[in-house]
């Protein structure tokens, strides 16, 4: 399974991390949760800078991170997600700093977090929020959520099924992502958001629908079931990322 391969490579990457990290210079925290909750009229979209993926291969080559971040921020996104996993997604931790310096919107670090050092690393890189995957952390999820808040960051907990929703709701996280992509098969089913969102919303948490949004029709289909959307491939693969983002934001 591709997730197992990614985690194995992540373990080797984490082994090389130092025990401590320096505090970021002049850190400007921006709240992703607040940005989503305060969005009015237009659809809250977290635009993801993703250069490659295991399912799609290379999505966009030679991306200028600062320039792309500016384009997406100007396009009306409420936040920018930066994929920092290097082997399967073509990312780098240094991409966070380039994006953060270029925009004022919240920046989410999206990676495969399996070690507490990655949380300290995330803060040192300058991100505002960090993705935690319930399928990866399992019973360790509550401890990692608390550690993210203790670091002054915000967790976005990613889920894929009802059991993971229960796990996420047992933590303090205010943002729960529902990934429409099955990580074991890499297939997409947008009904995942429709089927799982009610329990999250009834608990007062934010639902962020992830993966599978290709057009304005997809946004309109899922809008009644979620509070925000995390969209990467469709935007990054388009010749005009700004126009594609605008399509989603204004759907």
> Which residues lie across from 15 on neighbouring strands?
none
Sign of CA dihedral 164, 166, 172, 177: positive
How far is the C-alpha of 170 from the C-alpha of 115, rounded, in Å? Answer: 20
| Residue corresponding to tokens 């509070």 | 227
Put residue 131 in one of left, alpha, beta given phi > 0 → left and psi -120 to 50 → alpha: beta
Q: Which residues are catalytic?
A: 48, 50, 110, 158, 179, 210-211
How far is the C-alpha of 220 from the C-alpha of 6, rounded, in Å? Answer: 33
Residue pair 43/50 in contact (Cβ under 8 Å)? The answer is no
158 token code pair: 């990613």
How far is the C-alpha of 147 from the C-alpha of 138, rounded, in Å? Answer: 15
Reference 212, options 243, 181, 237; nearest CA is 181
Strand residue runs (E) in 10-90:
45-49, 52-53, 57-58, 79-83
Cβ-proximal residues to 138 (8 Å cutoff; 6+ apart), any chain: 167
What CA–CA distances, in Å, run from 59 to 75, 93, 96, 198? Answer: 20, 19, 19, 33
């Amino acid at each position: 399974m591709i997730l197992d391969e990614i985690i194995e490579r992540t373990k080797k990457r984490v082994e090389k991390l130092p025990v401590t990290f320096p505090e970021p210079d002049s850190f400007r925290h921006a709240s992703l949760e607040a940005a989503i909750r305060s969005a009015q009229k237009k659809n809250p979209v977290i635009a993801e800078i993703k250069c490659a993926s295991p399912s799609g291969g290379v999505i966009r080559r030679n991306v200028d991170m600062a320039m792309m971040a500016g384009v997406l921020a100007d396009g009306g996104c409420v936040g920018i997600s930066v994929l920092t996993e290097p082997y399967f997604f073509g990312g780098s931790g240094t991409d966070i700093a380039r994006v953060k310096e270029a925009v004022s919107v919240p920046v989410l670090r999206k990676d495969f977090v399996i070690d507490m050092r990655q949380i300290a690393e995330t803060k040192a890189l300058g991100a505002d929020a960090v993705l935690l995957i319930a399928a990866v952390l399992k019973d360790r999820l509550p401890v990692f959520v608390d550690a993210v808040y203790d670091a002054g960051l915000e967790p976005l907990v990613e889920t894929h099924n009802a059991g993971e929703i229960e796990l996420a709701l047992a933590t303090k996280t205010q943002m729960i992502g529902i990934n429409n992509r099955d990580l074991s098969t890499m297939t997409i089913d947008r009904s995942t958001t429709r089927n799982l969102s009610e329990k999250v919303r009834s608990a007062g948490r934010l639902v962020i629908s992830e993966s599978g949004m290709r057009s304005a029709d997809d946004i309109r289909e899922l809008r009644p079931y979620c509070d925000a959307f995390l969209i990467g491939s469709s935007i990054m693969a388009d010749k005009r990322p700004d126009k594609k983002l605008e399509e989603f934001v204004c759907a």
